[in-house]
Structure 1
Amino acid sequence: MNIQMDMDIFTVFSIIGTIAFAVSGAIVAMEEEYDILGVYVLGLVTAFGGGVIRNLLIGVPIPTIWTQGMLLKTAVIAMTIAFILPVKWLKTWKKSEAFFDAIGLSAFAIQGALYAAGKYPLSAVMVAAMLTGIGGGMIRDVLAGRKPLVLRDEIYAVWALAAGAVISLGWFHTPAQLLILFVIVIIFRMLSVHYSWRLPRRSLKYALAQSIFHADEEKRAAAASAIQEQEEVERKQND
């Protein structure tokens, strides 16, 4: 299905996502006590990493990132402001971290879907939306030595996939509809956080611990049984 991309709304989502994720990366870098260079590196990786991964997937030349001068400047300004803000302001931001992360996820998921819609099939648009929405955050967490949020926490990537699907199907394509979708994705992401909605998981670590515990119980039971038998034999001998 051909979807005419409105460049104005595309730019709006690009700016929103860039600011949200650049600040997110900068805050994580400061939490890990990186120097100012580390703050800028982690912020830029978070803001642009997802787009680079998406471009690799759909065959767009990587150097196109260097043509996004306005977004690069926007990211640098956002990170600089975050770096010089008073600590108490940053602590306030930290309390709302999930909300700002949801803004970045929603904006970049829609931006990634718009980038691929009309050129690629449904599955490719969904993956483009997901990778644009979560790729930068995954790289950020890995560089910061953390387990990627998207792989272990509340439902996250699913909402990016859903955004890609409805855009590819043409259900949301006008600027007004895309803004509504932007809000919907944020709401569902925040509901996931509030109610701890999670995808099914299995913990091999827990299963292994259980098996060791049961094995120890069996050993203790066998030892107790052997002691009891020995006492019974000694009692008979004494009689």
Structure 2
Amino acid sequence: MSFETLTIIAVSAFAFSGAIVALSERYDIFGTFMLGIATPFAGGIIRNIAMDVPVLHVWEQGHLFYVAIGTIAVVYFFPKRWVMFWDRWNIYLDAIGLSAFALQGATFAINHDFPLGGIIFAAILTGVGGGMTRDVLAQRRPMVLHQEIYAVWAMVVGLLVGLEIVDLASSWQKYTLFVVIIGCRVLSYHLGWHLRFRDLYRL
């Protein structure tokens, strides 16, 4: 599986996630497509703006834009009774997108010769930017600001890549990290891990 394939999976997963959230919030077709498109592409746009790198417009994303459009269309024309069922699986789709885009962000920073801090920053912004934008547009509390551990996993990607503990030139290391981050995100969700240390003092 190439990194291009990984990017397609991430775009599709985040577009699916955004469309499901839009439908569960009873958005119309325009709102559904806007939220579905924003989710996979907003993180990269935010990253480029923050790091003073030229922004590639959404419609210039080539086949990735059409992958997102196609995914959203499939979701929108599902029987509506399926929406709430699929919403239960949104955490897994979000975990795939988070892991893949965090890796994409770290790769982007390395290709632009950014130092360790820049690699971590790019991984976080790319990994969580789309999901955060989705939640804000859907008027939900962003998961990155929620008690669940979310952005930390993107930071871990940037840290491991930036310290050269994981070599992205090695396919098995890259995809092992991809799967591990998905597993960590899902596990932290189901086990209720959080960063609210203040709660520990109440035990």
Residues 98-153 of structure 1: CA distance to partner in whole angstroms, max 9, x if unpaired? 11110110011111111111510111111111111111111111111111111013
Q: Is the 2:22–2:32 Cα contact (8 Å) retained in structure 1? A: yes
| Equivalent residue for 1:139, pick from 130, 133, 140 | 133
Question: TM-score, with normalisation over the residues of structure 1?
Answer: 0.77
1:196 equivalent to 2:186? Answer: no
Separation in 1, partners of 2:64, 2:84: 26
Cα distance, 1:78 vs structure 2: 0.4
CA deviations 1:141-167 (Å, max 9, x no partner) are 111111111101310000000011111
Partner SS, residue 147 of structure 1? coil
- Contact 2:45–2:56 at 8 Å: present in 1 too? no
Residue 78 in 1 paired to residue 74 in 2? no
1:206-230 C-alpha deviation (Å, 9 max, x unpaired):
xxxxxxxxxxxxxxxxxxxxxxxxx
CA contact (8 A) 2:109 2:122 kept: yes
CA distance in 2, matches of 1:152, 1:48: 22
Q: Deviations over 1:69-107 (max 9, x none)?
A: 111000000000011112343333222111111011001
Q: Distance in 2 between matches of 1:168 and 1:176?
A: 17
Contact 2:23 2:83 in 1 (8 A): no
Separation in 2, partners of 1:157, 1:16: 20
Unaligned runs of 5+ in 1: 1-7, 204-239
CA RMSD of aligned residues (A): 1.7
Does structure 2 conserve the Cα–Cα contact (< 8 Å) formed by 1:13 and 1:111? no
Q: How does 1:1-239 map to 2 (within 5 A)?
A: 9-118=2-111, 119-172=113-166, 173=168, 174-200=170-196
Q: Sort the Cα spacing of 1:176 and 1:88 in 2 relative to 1 into closer, same or farther, 3 A.
A: farther
Aligned residues: 196
The TM-score, its normalising length taken from structure 2, stands at 0.90
Task: Letter of the 1:149 partner, please give it.
Answer: M
Q: Which structure has the larger Rg over C-alpha atoms?
A: 1
Percent of pairs identical after alignment? 46
Output the CA distance in 2 between the equivalents of 1:65 and 1:145: 23
Give, in whole Å, the separation in 2 of the partners of 1:65 and 1:83: 20
Give the structure with the higher percent helix. 1
